[in-house]
Amino acid sequence: MTDAPNGAQALIRTLVGAGVDVCFANPGTSEMHFVAALDDVPEMRGVLTLFEGVATGAADGYARMAGRPAATLLHLGPGLGNALANLHNARRGRAPQVVVVGDHARGHKRLDAPLESDIDALAGSVSTWVRRSLTAEDVGADAAEAVAAAARGGVATLVLPADVSWEEGASVAAPRPLRPAPQVAGAVVDEVAAVLGRGEPTVLLVGGDVVASEEGLLAAGQVAAGTGARLLAETFPARTVRGAGLPDVGRLPYPPEMAIAALAGTAHVVLVGAASPVHFFAYPGVPGTPVPDGCAVHVLAEPGEDGVAALRALADAVAPAAEPVLLEAGRPELPTGALTPRSLAAVLGALLPERAVVVDEALTSGVGLAELTSGAPRHDWLALTGGAIGDGLPMAVGAAVACPDRPVVAVQADGSAMYTPQALWTMARERLDVTVVVCDNGSYAILEHELARVGASGGGERAGRLLDLSGPGLDFVALATGMGVPATRATSAEELADQLRAALAEPGPHLVDAVLPGRH
């Protein structure tokens, strides 16, 4: 690198110096100097994706498993627009990500070129921090600020004009000090301890850093064991540590009628790293939240605060001698016969490798998954935090890049798999150890449930055509092999077990198309 680096070189050097050494990219003309600078900064790993939503979804999965941000490189406003859905999921999961968006050269913007758009407005819809580098001299400092902002648990977007990227005279900036998570005041712990001391029906609703760590789960289990409070996790935690030797923490159900039933009779809900629950959508005659009328909601730790330390303090106050109830090691027997969502879950529970990372976008086909994998060897579970489908396959890419020594298992609904199938190509190119199990029921089954749940009239043939995936059916074996991923099709529980066992035993990516009832 020259003594007077250009803006792109200074940007990448600053990112690497701050610990951001992976960039998931879908670049265009405005970003070519960034691309060229990768040869000057070999410490930065560039990973090509064939769609911007794959890049941002991969950075999401990477951040959840690595505990630090990756960068993404996007092309102008349209590229950022293609990336927004999975940036939404990252924002909802507080996953750190540094988004670099190339823009037109400063003098070119006034010409209103065909790709000109309001990048800053687009970025603001999903970012906690947005900045535009106005000169090459600004780039290093701006990049360092972006990493610090992302590390606080959000999406930080840096807009880089093309001429700022190519101009020389930039300088590399030192990393900014990272702020530790805010601590919960002792008075708040005392208030919650007093609530638990009343002996009234209480739910401890946990999320964030609590469910992502063994220490947090054990502290939550200690509080529950000592006070009789029920433990529940938020519906879609970003990352959960699970398996034998940990407390069994069920998740608040997604369907509103089930969530309402789960909290019925509760007098107090204590939030630890989780937001107060609401239903994803409004339904006729259904309240917007499952929290019962008259139930008091108390906040021990806001998302982003140190919930683990708060729970440890709470456990010392209300249950100093209590021992959490822990799951014993246990696996379901391998099922035989018809392949159903539950038998699929049993196969996964029986064969899930130790230290696996499970990426769950099974949606309606996930019946029994949590139950039948709960006693498996210790593993991590990544969920669809923001509800924008199409994050599963990209997250698996990012998790595998972050944890190359761990097997990644992506349990993927068929409809949402088609939002970002390009992730399969990146798995093949990077030789990532990802096993994808497609839950192939040939429909948008979740929307079939929602059609009835919202009380929409009709549901006839024309409406049905917008919810099924037949005519023609999707061929996931052909799709995967066409992108370089070996693939097989299973139509029985025995076939799924054999194919999954073989896929897990062989390094590199594989796909198993699990054909479920309803597949045409």
pLDDT for 442 equals 85
Place of tokens 């540590």: 241
For residues 5 and 1, what is the distance between their CA atoms, to the nearest angstrom? 7
pLDDT for 1 equals 45
- Residue 228 located in a structural domain: yes
Identify whether residues 414 and 369 lie together within a single domain: yes
Q: Is the pLDDT of residue 446 over 70?
A: no
Read off the pLDDT band of 460 (50, 70, 90).
confident
* C-alpha torsion 367→373→378→380, nearest 10: -10
Identify whether residues 349 and 293 lie together within a single domain: no
Domain that holds residue 73: 7-166
- Residue 457 located in a structural domain: yes
- Say if residues 107 and 167 touch (Cβ distance below 8 Å): no
Identify whether residues 312 and 359 lie together within a single domain: no
For residues 216 and 222, what is the distance between their CA atoms, to the nearest angstrom? 10
- Residue 388 located in a structural domain: yes
Read off the pLDDT band of 275 (50, 70, 90).
very high
Q: Is the pLDDT of residue 445 over 80?
A: no
Percent of the chain whose predicted confidence (pLDDT) is above 70: 96
Q: Is the pLDDT of residue 456 over 80?
A: no
Identify whether residues 364 and 283 lie together within a single domain: no
Dihedral sign, Cα of residue 475, residue 477, residue 482, residue 484:
positive
Domain count, the chain: 3
pLDDT for 26 equals 97
Q: List pLDDT tens digits, range 122-134.
A: 999 999 999 999 9
Q: Is the pLDDT of residue 341 over 70?
A: yes
Identify whether residues 374 and 454 lie together within a single domain: yes
- Say if residues 25 and 79 touch (Cβ distance below 8 Å): no
| CA dist 228 → 116, 260, 326 (Å) | 59, 20, 15
Identify whether residues 161 and 190 lie together within a single domain: no
- Say if residues 49 and 426 touch (Cβ distance below 8 Å): yes
Identify whether residues 473 and 353 lie together within a single domain: yes
pLDDT for 471 equals 77
- Say if residues 158 and 103 touch (Cβ distance below 8 Å): no
- Residue 327 located in a structural domain: no
- Residue 283 located in a structural domain: yes
Interacting residues of 39 by C-beta distance below 8 A, sequence separation 6+: none
Reported as type and span, the H/E element at residue 297 is strand 296-301
Identify whether residues 13 and 82 lie together within a single domain: yes
Q: Is the pLDDT of residue 2 over 60?
A: no
Identify whether residues 57 and 200 lie together within a single domain: no
Q: List pLDDT tens digits, range 370-379.
A: 999 999 999 9
- CATH code at 205? 3.40.50.1220
Reported as type and span, the H/E element at residue 95 is none
How big is the chain, counted in residues? Answer: 520
Reported as type and span, the H/E element at residue 286 is none
Q: Is the pLDDT of residue 409 over 50?
A: yes
Interacting residues of 114 by C-beta distance below 8 A, sequence separation 6+: none
Over range 246-254, report the average pLDDT. Answer: 95
Identify whether residues 143 and 199 lie together within a single domain: no
- CATH code at 104? 3.40.50.970
Q: Is the pLDDT of residue 311 over 60?
A: yes
Interacting residues of 11 by C-beta distance below 8 A, sequence separation 6+: 34, 37, 100, 139, 140, 143, 158, 160, 165, 170
Domain end point (choices 250, 285, 318): 318
Identify whether residues 477 and 380 lie together within a single domain: yes
- Residue 181 located in a structural domain: no
Percent of the chain whose predicted confidence (pLDDT) is above 90: 91
